[in-house]
Amino acid sequence: METEAVSRATLAGNYNKTTFDRIAGTPAPIAALGITTPLFDLTQQLRFSDSLPRDKITLDLSYARGPFTFSVTNTRYGRVATVALLNRTPAQVAALVQGYDVRLVPSVGSAANSDIIQRFGAKVLTDIDVSWQATRALRLSVGAQNVFDIYPDENIASRVSSVAVGSNGADNAGTKPYNAVSPSDLTAGPCLFAGV
């Protein structure tokens, strides 16, 4: 008796947009203590609105025949953004931002300086999986994640020219080339796995 083959395609996606109707100032009891730092500053606003991908689309293709299944999953993560550096002078901004996707926002308390918001582009990651249904209760799988070795965009790098004008980049002097808001694995590169 020949085993029937089954092919499946699954497409899923979402789109989210966070906006603020109003942002309250520092509550009076806290301000009375002399605390003037805004509680919901630009960094916190971006954590809510832009630190997660606005869109995510997943396409899974699978082929099963008998106890074996092969699947390929492509996941597209949309663009994210975060505050990279605060209160930078025009000279520091010029030395830091060349070659990066950024948006400048006037710094609070210093009209000449800027806060640098760095945007990280959308990425597509591909995973593969082969599994064997050994029994009704036991399935063995082996696969690889990020098979095409896709890395996230890099943080704004420290450069000789930026250090000369008094600023390191957002990469912690080269020790953190990738930002934590990146939806792909910060270690990047392919990852093999096996499971039961």
Check pLDDT > 90 for residue 181. Answer: no
Residue 103 banded pLDDT, cuts 50, 70, 90: very high
Average pLDDT estimate for 36-49: 87
Check pLDDT > 60 for residue 1. Answer: no
Mean model confidence pLDDT for the chain: 89
* pLDDT tens digits for range 139-167: 999 999 889 988 889 999 998 888 888 88
Residue 176 banded pLDDT, cuts 50, 70, 90: confident
Q: What order do you get walking across the sheet with 123-133 strand by strand? A: 5-15, 55-65, 68-77, 123-133, 139-145, 191-195
Query: What is the reported pLDDT for 39?
Result: 82
pTM for this one?
0.83
Average pLDDT estimate for 109-134: 93
Reading the block at residue 34, the tokens are: 């002399």
Query: What is the reported pLDDT for 3?
Result: 76
User: Whole-angstrom Cα distance, residue 8 to residue 50?
Assistant: 33
**Cβ proximity of 181 and 123 under 8 Å:** no
Query: What is the reported pLDDT for 185?
Result: 59
Query: What is the reported pLDDT for 189?
Result: 59
Q: What is the DSSP secondary-structure string of 19-82?
A: --S------HHHHTTT--S-TT-HHHHHHHHTSS-SEEEEEEEEEEETTEEEEEEEEEE--EEE
Query: What is the reported pLDDT for 192?
Result: 67
Lowest-confidence pick of 54-68, 86-100, 171-185? 171-185
Q: How far is CA 54 from CA 50, 57, 128, 182, in A?
A: 7, 10, 25, 12
Average pLDDT estimate for 70-76: 97
Query: What is the reported pLDDT for 172?
Result: 85
- Highest mean pLDDT out of 24-28, 53-57, 183-187: 53-57
